Every structure is written in structure tokens, then in C-alpha cells.
């Protein structure tokens, strides 16, 4: 069991708000534990401000007029994590074999601190040993030259800057590989595919300022209190203005219920909090298509009625006629769907959904915000298409105060796609790259994340090169991935801290430590700045000023250039050394490749609030096949992709308040009342009664899809919870072992981590 030495396990409901003193305490705790570099306070004060450093945690927007302290609890934790005083040195690796380290928990591995030296795995001693950078690059290059480029994976986790990402994608393509998956493939790829096919733009359409003028927010499957806490400020302002904030989430997430603003002295001193959601609907996991259809049904049938009696219309018929395609087919499907089916599939009552419909019918400017609760389902695309349908009914896109607000994950995950990290050749400007750099880019489709895993499992991938992340831990089917990973011929990880993926060495294996974004990046022409793109398609500069964790570290651009020079034939059009010496030259190259989006890039990167790269759907310009925004008829009302069956549950894999993806900061999930452990499963009391289970009984979760019976997570503590019947919640990445790689969203291939079919067995 995962117990922090000084902590008792407890699972009492949490009664406080999000934010407030609880948040301060949580940050103080991690700062103390990490014995953070004293520069942390200064770096936090600069965080997310014009001319400052952009937070390494999430991709939430950076306002042009920031608060005095424009950081949140989890941003502060991410900062402490990077500026820790602990170090994972060559001496650490002499002391601990890789086999021994594989027995450590995710938390303990990263707690060992920042990596300091380039390391090579030595199979004879089963240890990582220090090497020089020159040796590492030369050997990696020599190996890469011997492979079929189409069998080499270049994975990127969404943190690296636009400059690094551009160089990364260019290196992979000059080498001949289109295998450029990134963490987006496990995350908002459903957005990229679903919004693109329906409205022609693959990203959100709103600006941060749209929160100032909306009169309704529909909030589906995103947990701002944990994953984007700065989003609570505009939400709180909306709540105070009387905006209807209507949440759909199987769990009552505290950040969506009430928030004490740590920036507000009165709230802090009086302990007052602001209620956020005006309505909270605990939809069944995978029941959102049905819920949205219910709202649509109310609105469409009310409009039918208005037409009959000659009352003013509810639908925006002018918008539908001028801008959309496919309305009639969708409306017919909605009229034909009965309420009993909608109620059963959503787990919500007709009265509840009609109530939402009535508010929607009156609201003039509606924003919809969503996250993994919609994207990580087998029918995630149907989730998005139904959401688009709902928004199109009243023209809620392309006008102030209305539109789509997907909340992206990693701080530059959207930007990585913008500058060419993609396995889809049609999304990269290949002809332009060819003209600029005089080489023949690969034209075939490359592997996405799940395809890369399938090729690693079946032995047809030769090498894995990772720019950040912890892929072997973040993907499904971890028990199959782990042995297969070690059969790769070459594994290379560019990283800041040690994680489980690094402990699965291929036949040749390197671990290359890099600077973090918060640190000073000194190059030939002086200290460098980098850029990234947020969830609102805004692009900013960021300059780290903290002392680097070690003077042996290289920057990410320098490491990419080192691998590129050792692998590729010299090309007079690409001067890798000059780029590393001055990142402004990389930005010039980005501008030359994408002249429309990155006009005067170097000049505009410091505009307060960032510059907008432009999103066509936000101007009602629809880059779809039909040239119109498209209604789509959903293929099913159940997003899970599997049928109900006796004893089968829908498991949501969740993030705690003490983690960033596979990085575990601690064992508290404050808002959900969990202390001292991650080995729990949230369960409805009625389901517990049916199974004869009592609070804190131990159970195993067993995979229940196809040949999935041998997938098991053992000895989880049962925690009675306010969660719809038939649904369970437990933590990611521990539960990834329960998911087969085939359990993924249709079309986007995002692993369907929000509805995994499982059975519950009492632990032996
Ligand atoms: N502190 C912190 N910040 C983070 C991260 C982190 O791990 N820690 N991760 C980053 C990354 S990469 C990402 S992608 C984002 C993720 O941020 P989110 O999109 O918020 O992702 P999750 O926490 O996985 O799940 C979101 C919510 O979906 C709900 N949910 C589950 N199933 C369903 C469903 O079927 N329908 C509905 N309506 N809701 C459902 C869950 O109860 C949960 O509240 O956060 C980013 N920010
Ligand atoms: N079951 C289930 N699985 C999921 C999810 C889920 O909700 N449920 N969520 C999915 C999602 S949304 C995502 S985005 C993925 C996340 O998958 P990844 O992005 O692959 O994983 P992370 O945990 O974010 O990666 C953490 C590691 O990144 C490295 N790192 C941190 N900072 C830096 C840096 O500045 N530079 C470099 N080079 N390395 C750095 C550190 O070594 C750290 O150990 O997981 C996915 N997997
Ligand atoms: Mo993500």
C-alpha cells in the first residue's frame, strides 16, 4: 500500500472549498519537502506575466493584465518540482541498479530529484553510467543511421517549446520518419479530429475575454480545481455576474462547486467562498451524448411548437440556413429519440434536461468548456459532434461570448501540433519544408501513440526517441508494453527527472538530462527565451531566470541539434549550431514555414496576453469538406463503446489533486477527501450493498473487455462515494494496466480512459 511515512490513510469527505488556505498549505508542504531553491519565490512572482516565465503545468491562458500572483496551487507545485534541491546524480545510479529502481513507486523515482548527467545503460552491471555528451550523440547517431526511419518513433510530451518542437519535427522528417506522435494523441486528439470535421478548425474558438460577455457556460468533463486552477478566476467572475454555469460530471468536483480566491483577502480571512455551478448534473460516465441530445430535443421541439403557434423562433434559423449543413437529418433523429432512452443512457431525468434546455433557449451567448470527460471515450467523436450540434442550434460560435473552449493539458501541447509535430502528413507543410530545406520529406502517414505502442508490442518498431514524458507509463496495456519496450534496439529519453519509462532500457539506451523552462538558458548570443501556445491559441514568450539544476545540463534545442548533427548528412540550409546559439533564428525559420500564423514572430512574442494565431471558425469561416459547419447524427447514445452487462462497471481513470499526469507529487487528493494513499476505488453505496462490500474492504479490479480477463489491479480500498451507480473512479496511471491498447476512441485513437469495462472482485 502507498503510505507516506508520516501520514495515516484516511478517506473522509472534504468540506472545504477549492483554493483558500487548503491550497496554501498544500503548496507550503511541497516547498518544504523539496527544499526548494530560494529563487522559487521570485520565479513564481514572474509566472504567467508578460515578460515572465510561462508555467510548466497546464495550458490555461495568460491574461494581458495578470493578478499580482498569477499562479495557482498546482502551478506552484510544478515549480517546486522543477526547482527542487534534490539531484539524481551518477552516484545515485551507482548505488541503485535499474532492476532495483523498477521496484520503486513513481513518486519515489521523481523524488530523487533532477537528473544531472547524460547516462548510458550498461547491461553487464544493470546500471546507468555517465557518458559525455559527445559520446552519447555519436552513438545515437550511429545507431539511427542503421535503421529504417519508418520504424523509429519520435515521441513528444506536450511541454517542449515551439522552438524545440519545430527542430524536433524537422529532424525526424529530414531523417525520413513521420512517426511524430505526441501526448495529444492520448488527450485532445478527439478535439482535433472532431472539431475539425464539424467546424473546420481543430482547436477552441473562444478567447479568454469571452468569459466577460457570455451569459451561459456548459461545462462537460473537466476538473478546473485540479487541472487548470487559474480557470477558477474567470469562472468565479462569471458566477458573480449571474452567468448560468451548468456542469455535467459524474463526480461533484469541488472546484466546480465553490472556490475561495486566494487573491481575495476578504474571502481568505472570512473563509467565505463563491458558489460556481448554478446546476450540477451527475451524468453517467459515457452518458453525455444522451444528455446533450436531451437538451437538443427540448430546444428543437420547443421551436417546432413556436412555429406551429407563430411565436418567435428558438433556433437561430438564419444561422442554420446560411452556415450549416445536415440540420434536418439531426433534428429528425432527435425528434425520433424517446425520453426513456435519453434518461436511461444519460442517467439524468427528463425534467433536469428540459430545465437546462429552457435556460439554453433563452441564453444569447453560450460557451462550452470541456476536457477528458468527453475526449477519452470510444465514441468521443460522437461526444464532440453532439456538442457542436447543440451549439449550432442557436448559432453559438463565431460571435462574442460564445464558442468552444477545450481545456488543453500540457503547457505547449497545442503549439507542438502547430509547428509540425504530427504523424498526419496532410497537417504538415511538407512542400514548404522541401522548398526551404531542400530535402524530400516522408509523405506516408506515420504512427500515432497507440499505433506506436502496437508496433512496439509486436516487435516491428526499432527505436524510441522521447522528448519528455513517460510514455510507457501513460499508455494503456502497461503490462504488455513494459517487456516489449526492452526489446527495442534503441531507447533515448530527453528528461528532467527519472521515471519508469527510463527503467525499460532497449538494447542500447540513453538518458539525456535537459534544462527546465524556469531555468536560465545561456547560449552563444546570451540568455535565450522560448515561446509556447495556450488553449486559446495565443502565443507568448517565456524567459527562465532560475539557476540551472546542474552545469552539465544542455537545453532541449541543444540536445535535438546534437542528435540531428550526429544522424543527418550536413545540409547547408540548416545550421543547427546557429539555431542553438540564437533561438530567434529558429523563430525566423518558423515564420518562414508558417508565414500566416507567425508574422513578425520575434517582435510579437512579447505582446502582453500573447498574440493570436487565428482560428477560422471563430470568424465563421468553415474549413470543412462542405464549406459549412456540419451537423452530424451521432452513431450511438452510449459513448463507452461497450454494452451494459451484469457485474460490469464503467471505470473512469482519474487524476488526483497531487499529481501531474504520471508525476505523483504526493498521496493526498484533498478535494475528494483521500489522504495517504492512491490505492482506492470510488464506488456508489448501492453498488457496494449489492456486492456485500463495506467501506475500506479490499477489492481487485479486473478487465472485462474481450480477452481482457487477465488484466488486474489488486487490493484497492473501497471508498463509498457520490458517483452514479454502475460507475467507478480510480487513479491513472496505476489503472492503465486494465486497458487493452484496442480500447481507444474511433478515428482519433485516444485511449478511452474514462470508461474502461471492469468487474469488481473481493481481494484474495
Ligand atoms: N494538476 C494537474 N494539472 C493538469 C494535469 C494533471 O495531471 N495535474 N494534467 C494536464 C493534462 S495533460 C490534461 S489533458 C488536463 C486534463 O484535465 P481534465 O480534462 O480535467 O482531465 P481529468 O482530470 O482526467 O478528467 C476530467 C473530468 O472528467 C470527468 N469525467 C469522467 N468521465 C466523464 C464522462 O463520461 N462525462 C463527463 N461529463 N465527465 C466525465 C471526471 O470526473 C473529471 O472531473 O489537465 C492538465 N493539467
Ligand atoms: N488511464 C489514463 N491514461 C492517461 C490519461 C488518463 O486520463 N487516463 N491521460 C493521458 C494524457 S491526457 C496525457 S497528456 C498523457 C501524459 O503522458 P506524458 O506526457 O508522456 O507524461 P507525463 O507524466 O506528463 O511526463 C512526465 C515526465 O516528463 C519529463 N519532463 C518534465 N518536464 C520536462 C521538461 O521540461 N523537458 C523534458 N524533456 N522532460 C520533462 C519528466 O522526466 C517527467 O517524469 O497520459 C495519458 N494517459
Ligand atoms: Mo493531456
Q: Which atom of ligand 2 is nearest to the CA of 736?
A: 1
pLDDT grade for 18, boundaries at 50, 70 and 90: confident
Q: Residue 626: count other Cβ atoms within 10 Å of its Cβ.
A: 11
Which residue from 615, 596, 590 is spatially nearest to 538, judged by alpha carbons?
Answer: 615
Mean pLDDT of 24-40: 84
Cell of 111: 523524488
Closest atom of ligand 1 relative to the 377 alpha carbon: 35
405-463 pLDDT tens trace: 999 999 999 999 999 999 999 999 999 999 999 999 999 999 999 999 999 999 999 99
According to DSSP, residue 126 is labeled T
pLDDT on residue 7: 61
pLDDT at 4: 40
Burial of 201 from C-beta contacts in 10 A (0-12 / 13-18 / 19+)? buried
What's the whole-number mean pLDDT along residues 610-636? 97
Asked if 384 contacts 198 with a C-beta cutoff of 8 angstroms, the reply is yes
Q: How far is the CA of 493 from the centre of ligand 2 (A)?
A: 13
Task: Give the cell for residue 137.
Answer: 550523440
Q: What pLDDT sits at residue 264?
A: 80
Q: Which of 118, 227, 468, 472 has most ligand 2 atoms within 8 Å of its beta carbon, as the pocket-test mutant?
A: 468
Residue nearest ligand 2's atom 38 by CA: 468
Q: Which DSSP category does 493 fall into?
A: E
Would you say residue 140 has pLDDT above 80? yes
Say which residue the cell 544493470 belongs to: 126
Give the pLDDT band (50/70/90) at residue 5.
Answer: very low
pLDDT interval class at 59 (50, 70, 90): very high
Ligand approaching nearest to the C-alpha of 549: 2
pLDDT score for 394: 98
Confidence of residue 36 (pLDDT cuts 50, 70, 90): confident
pLDDT tens-digit map of 311-369: 999 999 999 999 999 999 999 999 999 999 999 999 999 999 999 999 999 999 999 99
If you measure from the C-alpha of residue 409 to the centroid of ligand 1, how many angstroms do you get, rounded to a whole number? 9
pLDDT of residue 709: 56
* Residue 18 main-chain phi, psi, to 5 deg: -80, 165
Element holding 490 (H helix, E strand)? strand 490-495
Half-sphere exposure of 386 (CA within 13 A, CB side): 29
In the prediction, which pLDDT does 262 show? 80
Peptide bond preceding 321: is omega within 30 degrees of 0, i.e. cis?
A: no
Query: What letter does residue 676 receive in the DSSP assignment?
Result: S
* pLDDT above 60 (res 189): yes
Pocket test for ligand 1, best of 26, 58, 156 (most atoms within 8 A of CB): 58
Q: Residue 391 above 50 pLDDT?
A: yes
Q: Which of 58-72, 345-359, 371-385, 487-501 has the lowest mean pLDDT?
A: 58-72
For a mutational test of ligand 1's pocket, the pick from 251, 370, 371, 664, i.e. the residue with the most ligand atoms closer than 8 A to its C-beta, is: 371
- Per-residue pLDDT at 39: 87
Looking at ligand 1, which atom is closest to the CA of residue 221? 39
Residue 13 has pLDDT above 60, yes or no: yes
Residue 18: CA count within 13 A, CB half-sphere:
31
Residue 193 — very low, low, confident or very high, per pLDDT cuts 50/70/90? very high
Calculate how far, in angstroms, residue 442's C-alpha sits from the geometric centre of ligand 2. Answer: 27
Closest ligand 1 atom to residue 77 Cα is 1
Neighbours of 351 (CB within 10 A): 8
Q: How far is the CA of 469 from the centre of ligand 2 (A)?
A: 4
Report d(CA 12, CA 2) in Å as an integer: 17
- How close is the Cα of 581 to the center of ligand 2, in Å? 28
pLDDT-derived band at 3 (thresholds 50, 70, 90) equals very low
pLDDT mean over 99-123: 98
Distance in Å, CA 661 to ligand 1 centroid? 10
pLDDT band at 702 (very low <50, low <70, confident <90, very high): very high
Measured from CB, residues less than 6 Å from any atom of ligand 2 are 110, 157, 159, 183, 186-187, 372, 376, 409-410, 467-471, 474, 494-497, 499, 514, 516-517, 556, 653, 661-663, 732-733, 736, 751, 753
Please say if the pLDDT value at position 747 is more than 80.
yes
Residue 157 and residue 410 in contact, taking contact as beta carbons nearer than 8 Å: yes
Cβ(177)–Cβ(442) below 8 Å: yes
If you measure from the C-alpha of residue 209 to the centroid of ligand 3, how many angstroms do you get, rounded to a whole number?
24
For the beta carbon of residue 482, count every other beta carbon within 10 angstroms.
Answer: 17
What pLDDT score was predicted for residue 707? 54
- 688 Cβ neighbours under 8 A, 6+ residues apart: 694, 695, 718, 720
Residue 162, helix vs strand vs coil: helix
Share of the chain above pLDDT 70, in %: 99
pLDDT at 706 over 70: no
Q: Which of 175-179, 264-268, 461-465, 562-566 has the lowest mean pLDDT?
A: 264-268
Residues bordering ligand 3, an ion, CB closer than 5 Å? 187, 409
**With contact defined as beta carbons under 8 Å apart, do 453 and 477 qualify?**
yes
Q: Are 240 and 273 in contact (CB under 8 A)?
A: no
Residue closest to 398 by CA, chosen among 633, 598, 629: 629
Q: How confident is the model at residue 2 (pLDDT cuts 50, 70, 90)?
A: very low
The SS3 assignment for 530 reads strand
Could you give the CA distance from residue 560 to residue 466 in angstroms, rounded to a whole number?
11
Q: Which residues lie across from 470 on neighbouring strands?
A: none
Is the pLDDT confidence value at 754 over 70?
A: yes
Q: Which three cell numbers stand for residue 704?
A: 472485462
Mean model confidence pLDDT for the chain: 95
Alpha helices in 209-366 (DSSP H): 224-227, 232-241, 254-257, 265-270, 288-309, 317-323, 327-336, 339-346, 350-362
Q: Are 206 and 617 in contact (CB under 8 A)?
A: no
pLDDT above 90 covers a percentage of the chain that reads 90
**197 Cβ contact partners less than 8 Å away, ≥ 6 residues apart:** 381, 385, 624, 630, 632
Q: Which residue, by CA, sits nearest to atom 6 of ligand 1?
A: 660
Q: How many helices (DSSP H) and strands (DSSP E) are in the chain?
A: 30, 33
**pLDDT of 761 higher than 70:** yes
Where do the domains of the chain lie, and which CATH numbers do they carry? 87-187+412-608 (3.40.50.740), 189-407 (3.40.228.10), 649-762 (2.40.40.20)
Sign of CA dihedral 638, 643, 649, 651: negative
Ligand 3 centroid to Cα of residue 357, in Å, is 31
The DSSP result for 173-191, as a single string, is: HHHT-----BGGGGTTHHH
Q: How far apart are CA 186 and CA 179, in angstroms?
A: 15
Q: Is the pLDDT of residue 26 over 90?
A: no
Q: Which residues pair with 669 in a beta bridge?
A: 674
d(CA 59, CA 413): 8
Residues with CB under 6 A from ligand 1: 57-58, 74, 187, 220-223, 226-228, 248-251, 253, 283, 285-286, 288, 371-373, 407, 409-410, 652, 654-655, 659-661, 754
Q: What is the pLDDT of residue 447?
A: 98
- Mind listing the pLDDT tens digit for each residue in 205-225? 999 999 999 999 999 999 999
Amino acid at each position: 500500500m502507498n503510505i507516506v511515512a508520516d501520514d495515516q490513510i484516511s478517506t473522509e469527505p472534504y468540506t472545504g472549498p477549492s483554493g483558500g488556505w487548503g491550497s496554501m498549505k498544500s503548496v507550503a508542504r511541497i516547498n518544504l519537502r523539496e527544499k526548494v531553491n530560494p529563487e522559487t519565490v521570485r520565479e513564481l512572482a514572474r509566472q504567467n506575466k508578460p515578460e515572465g516565465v510561462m508555467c510548466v503545468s497546464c495550458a490555461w491562458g495568460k491574461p494581458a493584465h495578470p493578478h499580482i500572483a498569477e499562479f495557482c496551487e498546482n502551478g506552484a507545485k510544478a515549480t517546486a518540482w522543477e526547482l527542487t534541491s534534490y539531484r539524481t546524480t551518477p552516484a545515485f545510479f551507482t548505488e541503485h541498479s535499474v532492476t532495483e529502481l523498477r521496484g520503486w513507486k513513481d513518486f519515489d523515482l521523481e523524488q530523487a530529484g533532477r537528473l544531472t548527467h547524460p547516462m548510458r545503460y550498461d547491461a553487464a552491471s544493470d546500471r546507468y553510467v555517465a557518458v559525455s555528451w559527445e559520446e552519447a550523440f555519436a552513438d545515437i547517431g550511429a545507431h539511427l543511421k542503421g535503421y529504417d526511419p519508418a520504424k523509429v518513433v519520435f515521441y513528444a510530451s506536450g511541454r517542449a517549446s515551439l522552438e524545440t518542437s519545430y527542430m524536433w519535427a524537422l529532424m525526424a522528417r529530414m531523417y525520413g520518419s513521420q512517426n511524430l506522435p505526441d501526448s495529444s494523441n492520448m488527450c485532445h486528439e478527439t478535439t482535433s479530429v472532431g472539431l475539425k470535421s464539424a467546424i473546420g478548425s481543430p482547436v477552441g474558438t473562444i478567447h479568454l475575454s469571452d468569459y466577460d460577455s457570455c451569459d451561459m457556460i456548459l461545462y462537460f468533463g473537466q476538473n478546473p480545481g485540479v487541472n487548470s486552477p487559474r480557470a477558477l478566476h474567470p469562472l468565479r467572475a462569471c458566477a458573480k455576474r449571474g452567468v448560468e454555469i451548468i456542469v455535467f460530471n459524474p463526480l461533484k468536483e469541488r472546484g466546480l462547486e465553490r472556490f475561495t480566491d486566494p487573491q481575495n483577502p476578504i474571502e481568505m480571512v472570512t473563509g467565505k467562498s463563491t458558489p460556481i455551478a448554478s446546476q450540477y448534473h451527475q451524468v453517467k460516465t459515457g452518458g453525455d451524448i444522451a444528455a446533450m441530445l436531451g437538451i437538443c430535443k427540448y430546444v428543437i421541439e420547443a421551436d417546432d411548437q413556436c412555429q406551429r403557434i407563430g411565436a418567435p423562433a428558438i433556433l437561430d434559423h438564419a444561422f442554420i440556413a446560411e452556415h450549416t449543413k445536415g440540420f434536418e437529418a439531426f433534428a429528425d433523429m432527435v425528434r425520433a429519440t424517446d425520453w426513456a432512452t435519453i434518461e436511461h443512457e444519460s442517467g439524468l431525468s427528463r425534467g433536469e434536461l428540459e430545465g437546462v434546455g429552457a435556460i439554453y433557449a433563452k441564453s444569447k451567448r453560450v460557451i462550452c468548456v470541456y476536457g477528458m470527460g468527453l475526449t477519452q471515450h470510444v465514441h468521443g467523436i460522437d461526444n464532440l459532434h453532439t456538442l457542436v450540434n447543440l451549439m449550432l442550434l442557436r448559432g453559438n460560435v463565431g460571435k462574442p461570448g460564445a464558442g468552444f473552449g477545450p481545456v488543453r493539458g500540457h503547457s505547449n501541447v497545442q503549439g507542438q501540433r502547430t509547428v509540425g509535430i504530427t504523424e498526419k502528413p496532410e497537417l504538415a507543410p511538407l512542400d514548404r519544408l522541401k522548398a526551404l530545406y531542400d530535402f524530400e520529406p516522408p509523405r506516408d502517414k506515420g504512427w500515432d501513440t497507440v499505433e506506436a505502442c502496437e508496433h512496439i508490442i509486436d516487435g516491428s518498431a526499432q527505436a524510441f526517441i522521447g522528448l519528455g514524458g513517460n510514455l510507457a507509463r501513460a499508455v494503456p496495456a502497461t503490462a504488455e508494453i513494459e517487456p516489449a519496450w526492452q526489446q527495442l534496439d534503441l531507447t533515448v529519453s530527453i528528461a528532467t527527472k527519472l521515471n519508469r519509462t527510463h527503467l525499460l532500457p532497449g538494447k542500447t539506451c540513453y538518458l539525456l538530462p535537459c534544462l527546465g523552462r524556469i531555468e536560465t538558458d545561456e547560449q552563444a548570443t546570451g540568455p535565450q527565451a522560448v515561446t509556447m501556445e495556450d488553449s486559446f491559441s495565443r502565443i507568448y514568450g517565456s524567459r527562465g531566470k532560475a539557476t540551472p539544476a546542474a552545469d552539465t545540463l544542455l537545453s532541449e534545442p541543444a540536445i535535438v541539434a546534437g542528435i540531428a548533427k550526429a544522424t543527418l548528412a550536413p545540409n547547408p540550409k540548416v545550421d543547427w549550431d546557429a539555431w542553438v546559439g540564437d533561438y530567434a533564428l529558429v523563430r525566423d525559420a518558423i515564420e518562414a514555414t508558417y508565414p500566416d500564423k507567425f508574422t513578425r514572430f520575434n517582435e510579437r512574442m512579447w505582446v502582453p496576453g500573447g498574440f493570436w494565431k487565428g482560428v477560422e471558425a471563430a470568424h465563421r469561416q468553415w474549413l470543412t469538406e462542405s464549406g459549412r459547419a456540419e451537423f452530424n447524427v451521432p452513431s450511438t447514445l452510449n459513448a463507452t463503446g461497450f454494452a451494459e452487462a451484469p457485474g460490469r462497471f464503467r471505470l473512469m481513470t482519474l487524476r488526483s489533486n497531487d499529481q501531474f499526469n504520471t508525476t505523483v507529487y504526493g498521496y493526498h487528493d484533498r478535494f475528494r477527501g483521500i489522504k495517504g494513499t492512491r490505492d482506492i476505488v470510488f464506488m456508489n453505496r448501492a453498488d457496494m450493498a449489492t456486492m456485500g462490500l463495506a467501506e475500506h474492504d479490499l477489492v481487485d479490479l479486473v478487465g472485462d473487455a474481450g480477452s481482457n480477463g487477465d488484466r488486474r489491479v489488486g487490493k484497492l480500498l473501497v471508498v463509498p462515494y457520490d458517483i452514479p451507480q454502475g460507475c467507478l473512479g480510480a487513479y491513472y496511471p496505476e489503472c492503465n494496466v486494465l486497458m487493452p491498447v484496442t480500447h481507444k476512441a474511433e478515428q482519433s485513437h485516444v485511449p478511452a480512459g474514462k470508461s474502461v469495462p471492469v468487474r469488481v472482485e473481493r481481494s484474495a
